Structure 1
Amino acid sequence: MSDSRGSTTVLLVRHGRTPTTGELLPGRSPGLHLSEQGWEQARAAAERIAELTVSALYSSPLERARETAQPSVELLGLPVREDPALLELDVGQWTGRALNDLNRLPEWRTVQHNPSAFRFPDGESFPEMQQRMVDAVQRLCTFHPGGTVVCFSHADPIRGLLAHAMGTPLDNFQRLSVGPCSISVLSYPAAPDGADEPSGDDTNPVVLTVNSTRDSLRELVAS
């Protein structure tokens, strides 16, 4: 049962491996599914998540994220709700291009070292991606005060949210490792007495773990 006076815990799960992981920049390409290794990773993540008392499951609408959520749906007996705010970064004209080709472009250096100044051609900027993730998770916390929420998303959106939570400049967010099916955990404080939702400094979350793939989550999250 949720306790509206307690902190809300948010688990951020990157989708599992696909056949193109590390080779292409998939962006929001439809029809990209988990590889067999990705399904194994998703099942292992689900077993870890199932140790907790979970309030709700949310997922990016893309297939690879929804498939990663499916073993958790089966173990927990909860539906997964699609949330477009958890989508992958929109890389516009770069969608589906080989990473080996992209890293030869002069713009690639900006992507790696000054992403706050970059917008993908016909796509999204990194600051826009970060802000929609921040807004989305704060919104979900108001829906499940004192609960534990699991969000299945993508590497860059998760990194952007973690950088914001840490107070790290967006230009440094590439330094954060978020591997396939890793779980990162944030704890968001409850709204002050008399307030419907946190504001100002009260929204600052506590970063409990980043890029966790093996250890039990019980020690981090009170279930």
Structure 2
Amino acid sequence: MKIVLVRHGESEANVAHVINDDPTRAVNLTERGRAQAEEAAGRLRDVPFTHAYASEFLRAQQTAEILLRHHDCPLQIDARLNERRTGLDGQPVHVFNDLVRPDPLHIRPEGGETFLEQMERLRGFLDEVAARHPDGVILAVSHENPIVAALALTVADPGQVVRRNITNCEAVELDWPLVDASRQGGSCPRVVRGSSQQSTK
């Protein structure tokens, strides 16, 4: 299976520099975010997607709907693509960053999940979708933290990528299942279609 993971476009929470990890709280794309998604749709227009997934968050679904305008495949919602649970919904982003900085792989905020737990959530998604669609070309619209977690599954040491930034509407392509990461020399998947428009987390 080939999968293209895309981060959503700029959202209202990005502009406000606040955390939104509660999918029941509606946070929309900004006009700039919609423009980013339109640009990404053009870049991905010729990719022969067979199936598409998005997280439960409105901003991811809005991005996916724009990306799929050139593709005839229904959008499926999967909670395993959701943003990392931090227990800090509505608080400034720097509160979370400061909290996990001493040990970004293992610290679990109260009511949240560790980075390693998030990795296993993404592994479950990738394994199930690959088993269901072994020859598929998959679009998955998600969030910065889950995409970094997926990248971490491809290297021997997740610490190599845990602090990596994923810009709005950046796309990362990987093949799944992988050869064992320890035999890859820690190489990362290709960032095949990055966004030129960036936003703070």
**Range into which the TM-score falls when normalised by the shorter chain:** 0.7 to 0.9
Mapped to 2, the partners of 1:40 and 1:52 lie a distance apart of 19
Q: For residue 9 of structure 2, what is the aligned residue in structure 1? A: 16
Match of 1:123 among 88, 105, 112: 112
Match of 1:40 among 35, 38, 41: 35
Mapped to 1, the partners of 2:66 and 2:112 lie a distance apart of 32
Deviation at 1:69, TM superposition (A): 0.1
Q: Structure 1 residue 49 and structure 2 residue 44: aligned? A: yes
Root mean square deviation of aligned Cα: 2.5
Deviation at 1:117, TM superposition (A): 1.9
Is contact 1:9–1:187 with CA below 8 Å preserved after alignment? yes
Give the letter for the 1:121 counterpart. Answer: E
Q: For residue 194 of structure 1, what is the aligned residue in structure 2? A: none
Q: Identity of paired residues, percent?
A: 26
Deviation at 1:19, TM superposition (A): 2.1
CA 1:48–1:112 in 2, change beyond 3 Å: closer, same or farther? same
CA 1:38–1:211 in 2, change beyond 3 Å: closer, same or farther? farther
Match of 1:209 among 165, 190, 197: 190
Is contact 2:151–2:189 with CA below 8 Å preserved after alignment? no
Moved over 6 A (4+): none
Is contact 1:14–1:178 with CA below 8 Å preserved after alignment? yes
CA 1:110–1:210 in 2, change beyond 3 Å: closer, same or farther? farther
1:132 match: secondary structure: helix
2:10 match: secondary structure: coil
Deviations 1:154-202 (A, max 9, x none): 1001101101212232x4433322111100010125xxxxxxxx8x849
* Higher Rg: 1
Is contact 1:28–1:87 with CA below 8 Å preserved after alignment? no
Is contact 1:54–1:147 with CA below 8 Å preserved after alignment? yes
Is contact 1:16–1:180 with CA below 8 Å preserved after alignment? yes
Give the letter for the 2:3 counterpart. Answer: V
1:124 match: secondary structure: coil
Q: For residue 112 of structure 1, what is the aligned residue in structure 2? A: 101
Deviation at 1:109, TM superposition (A): 4.4
Matching of residues 66-81 of structure 1 within 5 Å: 66-81=61-76
In structure 1, runs of 5+ residues without a counterpart are 1-7, 190-197, 216-223
Is contact 2:171–2:191 with CA below 8 Å preserved after alignment? yes
Q: Structure 1 residue 27 and structure 2 residue 21: aligned? A: yes
Match of 1:151 among 136, 140, 157: 140
CA 1:147–1:186 in 2, change beyond 3 Å: closer, same or farther? same
Match of 1:61 among 36, 56, 63: 56
Q: For residue 92 of structure 2, what is the aligned residue in structure 1? A: 98
CA 1:166–1:201 in 2, change beyond 3 Å: closer, same or farther? closer
Deviation at 1:26, TM superposition (A): 1.6
Q: Structure 1 residue 181 and structure 2 residue 189: aligned? A: no
Q: For residue 4 of structure 1, what is the aligned residue in structure 2? A: none
Is contact 1:110–1:117 with CA below 8 Å preserved after alignment? no
Q: Structure 1 residue 135 and structure 2 residue 124: aligned? A: yes
Q: For residue 199 of structure 2, what is the aligned residue in structure 1? A: none
Is contact 2:11–2:59 with CA below 8 Å preserved after alignment? yes
Is contact 1:89–1:156 with CA below 8 Å preserved after alignment? yes
Give the letter for the 2:2 counterpart. Answer: T
Q: Number of residue pairs matched?
A: 191
Give the letter for the 1:97 counterpart. Answer: Q
TM-score normalized by the length of structure 2? 0.84
